Structure 1
Amino acid sequence: MSERCFLAIDLGAESGRVIAGLFDGQRVRLDELHRFRNGPVDVAGTRRWDVLRLWTDIQDGLAKAAEKYGDSIVSVGVDTWGVDYVLLSKHEELLGQPYNYRDPRTTGMIEYATSKVPRSEIFAATGLQFIPINSLYQLLGMQQKDPELLASADRLLMMPDFFHWLLCGSRVIEFTNATTSQCLNPVTRDWAVDMLRKLEIPTHIFPEVVSPGTKLGPLREEVARATGLPRLDVVTPATHDTACAVAAVPTSHTGRANWAYISSGTWSLIGVEVQEAILGEEALAQNVTNEGGIDGTYRLLKNVMGLWLVQECRRSFERAGRSYDYEELTRIASEAEPFKALIDPNDESFLSPADMVEAIQNWCRSHGEPVPESDGALVRCALESLALKYRQVLEGIERLTGEKVEVIHVVGGGSKNALLNQLTADACGVPVIAGPTEATALGNVLVQARAAGEIGTLADIRSVVQKSSELETFEPAEKAAWNDAWERFTALTR
């Protein structure tokens, strides 16, 4: 068959892209049409997203798609990071500049929420990891900081759903991103209304929840006119970028929890795929999360701070007049002394520090660890600590599922970091299969292709990814040294 074109709008915390996915029925290839910068904007002591500039860049990318692929384009869909949202008034006016999840207004909101509703009750109602960035704590922060704005809201849309509204006028939320909010019940798969009411969060703002692959409607006439596109279908992929990435994990073991994934980027999301949310006391004690996936699956996982640690070290080095690309950072880390210093990557001091180098060094001082001084030592500290955190998370998840993880698939931009891949294999003691780098875009495109009737099951999607990708395997080594490091790490993170 001839290639059919599906457009993926993929927005990450550092950049956004408009990508064409060309699918011939057996393999898919990607063509990046437009890349643009993204990132938080500091405004008067707050941290926001510049969604209007993102929308301008998206339209520029769509115009390039129209010029290159024209009538062969079938549909378009958006995926983004989770937890952040936009509020609309009843007249569909944008209420305020949307907040970035690292905005400090969530400080203390977990404690506030659990003072009103027991922690166990919140977990039973949502199945989500307690982490300050969640939409629930953002809403509570807004409730206290700006109650008038929240009271004016008629509709809450998660970030990808907001861009779908701009594209076609839909006012719904797709399931996978809804599950990142800590406002959705994983059993009923609808909003946790009773819990939200106890926290005095207005429930009328939460719209209908739809499944991945839902056709939302045709492109707005004015958008089609501005970009040169036909009024093609707007389709929800799995709108949470990690759900897209996990859909594109090149495994043949769909339906089993004996393989794990790490969606590696600014955040590392590490977990397994299960058929039902895992709740209960042990899951609560481990502070794991149950996020939605394709075909009603759940991603039993934990959020780990990820390559944010390295990205922010790089910014610190640049401020000091030392510029590196990521390949150079990996090289100097590989040359640094192993296990010089270890940190807990998920310590809240690393969530949004003024200077990551100082944050790492201060953490080491306060916990009796040797202080890394050189740039290579700092990056190696971050990477080795991440690998050990992955092991810690996986061992906990294995206890919950009763299945031993036999292989780890690393997907996303972080899969290009060969040093971290090898450290992960060494720390966890199982092979690591790296790739594809573009798992999120592949998942987005192939869910759209399935909505168009071009592909069948989730297993079929993964088979296409296997045929379309170059993968690299890292075998574990150096067991004794890592076991020593593991004992030290667990003592630091109790």
Structure 2
Amino acid sequence: MKYYLAVDIGASSGRLILGHREEGKMILEEVHRFGNGMEMQNGHLTWDVDQLFAEIITGMKKCAELGKFPESIGVDTWAVDFVLLDAQDQRIGDAVGYRDHRTQGMDQKVYEVIGEEKLYLRTGIQKQPFNTIYQLMAVKEQTPEQMEQAETLLMIPDYLHFLLSGQKVTEYTNASTTQLLDPQTKDWDWDLIDRLGYKRELFRKICLPGTNLGSLTPGIAAEVGFNCAVVVPATHDTGAAVMAVPAADDQVLYISSGTWSLMGTEVKEAICTAESQRYNFTNEGGYDYRFRYLKNIMGMWMINSARKELAPDMSFSDICEGAAKQSISSIVDANSDCFLAPESMTKEVQNACAESGQQVPKGIWETAAVIYNSLAECYAQTAHEVEKMTGVSYDCIYIIGGGANADYLNRLTAKACQKKVCAGPIEATAIGNISAQMIAAGELENLKTARECIYHSFDIAEYEA
């Protein structure tokens, strides 16, 4: 039996999942799960990357205890965040998270060099205040000594791959989210990097999903009790999740539903037009040089935050079921920056309703109902925009990831979009991670056969419009 180990780390939790094929189906087994989150450290919201790596080691040891030794291991995480290493490959400073406020005003510093519209026409990447391009400007402006000392920049999953293998590379799908990549050459935009005053030597060679970095370092292999290959998946978790869309057709409309809702389609060429910029779409790198043409929508972050504040002991299924029984019809703009990192999500939702003259929700169920209805309306608007920009009419929306479990939201989405909804698989990111490893090993021929395998391996719920 050949096993493949996916390390899938999200903004609130991480897991190590073993995958193998049996009678043509992909079988998953979770071996380790752990919490994650940003913590205030030295005045900034940061990730504890040392603890994340310790959890990876713990999960690998559990594989050995089970007697299930993977052929390879690959790591995916969220996008845009990074670490800086010095000449001795030691980390400089903290791994600051994307919700930290250090990027306030940094967009204007970038626009002094290149205007916002020209930047989009050049990179095709949606403006988010936390994109790597702005985070690097914060380092340059606020801690110039760190920029001077730095020799290497690695995105979070690239850093974890470095700790496993000793190899320093930058994977393509995550590199594209930096807003420093040329969508035509699929390489770093060196002229832009020079103009912004970022050191060229920071940026490592870009590799594609499926790249084999070699074996574990001797020290790691000895610690976990086995050796295996380190194979780079689509390290951006959305890039991995989109690989798991269980569709035979390349022209699909999807929502990767987790902390964020990433809604879009796959295109062969980046759409870097002024109209695309007005709609705030992004052209992120995908598997096999596809582009994930999508929009970032606030997603389950809003529900997670409201639950934490109002009903931390209530299950998400109970919240969903209770919300479905509410009559409140208030709608808020789910893409508003006020919901990015509020002190209280509940108060922000209530304030938004009050300011627009709508009924103000009370309690977890009414608050959840407002959020679910708002997300469904946002999905409908985004679907319309995708169809306008691509010239393609989509009959079905594929919802993948943890949010595919939200039955009420799935029904609202089908109704609002007037399209069939296919929900699942839930563990899409880990499945996509494992698929990339299996393709690299020759166990799956290509992305098409991987998606066919996924379709026949996992339950997909269907909702009619």
Q: Shorter chain as normaliser: what TM range? A: over 0.9
CA contact (8 A) 1:271 1:397 kept: yes
Q: 5+ residue gaps in structure 2? A: none
Give the match's secondary structure for 2:112.
helix
Tell me, yes or no, if structure 1 residue 166 matches structure 2 residue 163: yes
Tell me, yes or no, if structure 1 residue 475 matches structure 2 residue 459: no
The offset of 1:25, in angstroms, is 6.9
CA contact (8 A) 1:4 1:24 kept: no
Equivalent residue for 2:248?
Answer: 252
Equivalent residue for 1:385?
Answer: 374
CA contact (8 A) 2:310 2:363 kept: no
CA contact (8 A) 2:254 2:399 kept: yes
Equivalent residue for 1:460?
Answer: 449
Kindly provide the amino acid, as one letter, of the partner of residue 273 in structure 2: G
CA contact (8 A) 1:125 1:192 kept: no
User: What is the total number of aligned residue pairs between the two structures?
Assistant: 465
Give the match's secondary structure for 2:403.
helix
Q: Distance in 2 between matches of 1:220 and 1:143?
A: 33
2:219 alignment partner, one of 213, 222, 233: 222
The offset of 1:461, in angstroms, is 0.6
Q: Distance in 2 between matches of 1:171 and 1:467?
A: 36
Give the match's secondary structure for 2:53.
helix
The offset of 1:44, in angstroms, is 3.9
Equivalent residue for 1:240?
Answer: 236
Q: Distance in 2 between matches of 1:190 and 1:181?
A: 12
Tell me, yes or no, if structure 1 residue 64 matches structure 2 residue 62: yes
Deviations 1:73-126 (A, max 9, x none): 211100111111111111100111201110011122223322331112211221
Q: 5+ residue gaps in structure 1? A: 477-494
Q: Distance in 1 between matches of 2:255 and 2:106?
A: 28
Give the match's secondary structure for 2:153.
strand
Q: Distance in 2 between matches of 1:299 and 1:174?
A: 15
Equivalent residue for 2:273?
Answer: 280
Give the match's secondary structure for 2:40.
strand
Kindly provide the amino acid, as one letter, of the partner of residue 20 in structure 2: L
Equivalent residue for 1:334?
Answer: 324
Equivalent residue for 1:26?
Answer: 24
Kindly provide the amino acid, as one letter, of the partner of residue 328 in structure 1: D
Tell me, yes or no, if structure 1 residue 142 matches structure 2 residue 139: yes
RMSD of aligned alpha carbons = 1.3
1:290-305 correspondence runs (5 A): 290-305=283-298
The offset of 1:448, in angstroms, is 0.3
Q: Distance in 2 between matches of 1:323 and 1:226?
A: 37
Q: 1:198 to 1:368 in 2, by over 3 A?
A: farther
Equivalent residue for 1:91?
Answer: 88
Give the match's secondary structure for 2:95.
coil
Give the match's secondary structure for 1:188.
coil
Tell me, yes or no, if structure 1 residue 131 matches structure 2 residue 128: yes
Q: Distance in 1 between matches of 2:371 and 2:200?
A: 41
CA contact (8 A) 1:219 1:234 kept: yes
Deviations 1:116-168 (A, max 9, x none): 31112211221100011211111112222211112211111111100000000
Give the match's secondary structure for 1:116.
coil
Q: Distance in 1 between matches of 2:408 and 2:67?
A: 38
The offset of 1:323, in angstroms, is 3.4
Deviations 1:20-54 (A, max 9, x none): 00124721110000001101111243100000011
The offset of 1:70, in angstroms, is 4.2
The offset of 1:174, in angstroms, is 0.6
1:360-379 correspondence runs (5 A): 360-379=349-368
Deviations 1:263-315 (A, max 9, x none): 00110000001111111121122111001111111100000000100111112
CA contact (8 A) 1:5 1:69 kept: no
Deviations 1:418-467 (A, max 9, x none): 01111111110000000000111111111101111111121101001011
List, as ranges, runs of 4+ consecutive aligned residues in structure 1 with deviation greater than 4 Å: none
Identity of paired residues, percent? 40
